Amino acid sequence: MHEAIESIMRNGISGEEGSWSFPIPDISDIRRRLNVLFSMDHLSREDIFKDTYFKGICACGDEYGARYYAQRHNRIEEKKESILITFTVDIERVYIDGRDFLYTAFQLWNRTTTKNIKTQKSCLRKLFGANIERYFERCVISNDQSLRIIMADLATFDKKVVLSHWKNTKVIGGRYGTRFCSAFFVQAPISVSEIDSCVVIDSHFSEKDVFIDLNSFLGRGR
C-alpha cells in the first residue's frame, strides 16, 4: 500500500490504474457545444460520446462520498486498507458521473406515479442546482427513454449543474446502496502538482442520514 502511495505522489494518476477503464470525451468541447446539442431535433449519444480520446477517473467532490466508495462500496476482503486521495483540477476537466442517481431519476421519474413532479424538481434543484430543470423538463414531456438518457448526458456536462452538484452537502442514496453528496468523472492524467494529499485510511465508515434515495425519488417509498 505504501508503494502505491509513493507511486501516486511521484507519478500522479494516469487513469490507467486498476481494472476499470473510463474513456471520456473532450469535456470543454462538449461544454462549448452544449446549447447547440440541446436544441438539436435528432440528437444521439453518438453526438456526445463519438470521440472519447481521454482517460477518466471517478471522484467525489466531498470526503464523505470518497470514504464511502473507498471504505465500503469498492473495498474487498483481500485488501484491508484503502487510500484517500485529494486533488484539485480545473472545472473544464470535470463532469458529473450520473450512473448511481441522475440517469435513473431522469429515466424512471414517472414509473410509479406522475404526481410527484414538483417534489422531484425541488429535490433535483437542491442536489444539482436550478439549471438541472431545463433538462428534466424535456424528460417530463417525453416518454422516449433515449431522449431522457441524452438529457441526463447533457446535464452532466453543464458547468452550472456541475458547480451546484459539487457544492451539495446533502447525502444521496443511489443505486446498490451507494452513499455520496456528489460524484464526477475527471479527465486524466492528474499531475503530481495537482495532488493535495494521499493517505491510507482504515475500514471504519460512519453513516450519515440520507436526504433522498432513489426509491423515495421514484415514489416507491424507502
- pLDDT at res. 3: 86
- pLDDT at res. 77: 58
Pairing type for strands 82-87 and 94-96 reads unpaired
Q: pTM of the entire structure?
A: 0.94
Residue 171's nearest CA partner among 57, 56, 67 is 67
> Is residue 95 a contact partner of residue 27, using CB atoms and an 8 Å limit?
yes
Residue 39's nearest CA partner among 145, 126, 150 is 150
In this predicted structure, the answer to whether residue 131 has a pLDDT above a threshold of 80 is yes
> Is residue 45 a contact partner of residue 149, using CB atoms and an 8 Å limit?
yes
Average of per-residue pLDDT across 194-201: 95
In this predicted structure, the answer to whether residue 222 has a pLDDT above a threshold of 60 is no
d(CA 154, CA 151): 5
Worst-scoring range by mean pLDDT, 62-71, 79-88, 106-115, 187-196? Answer: 79-88
pLDDT in tens, 89-108: 999 999 999 999 999 999 99
Sign of the alpha-carbon torsion through 55, 139, 171, 81? negative
Pairing type for strands 195-201 and 82-87 reads antiparallel
- Residue for cell digits 424507502? 222
Confidence of residue 81 (pLDDT cuts 50, 70, 90): confident
Report percent pLDDT > 70 for the chain: 95
pLDDT in tens, 10-51: 999 999 987 788 999 999 999 999 999 999 999 999 999 999
Report which of residues 222 and 204 the model is more confident about.
204
Angle (CA) 143-145-147 rounded to 5° is 90
- pLDDT at res. 203: 74
Residue 99's nearest CA partner among 69, 79, 72 is 69
Average of per-residue pLDDT across 52-79: 85
Distances (CA, A) of 162 to 2, 52, 137, 154, 200: 33, 20, 18, 11, 28
Neighbours of 215 (CB within 10 A): 12
Residue 179's nearest CA partner among 96, 70, 104, 84 is 70
Cis peptide before 189 (omega within 30 of 0): yes
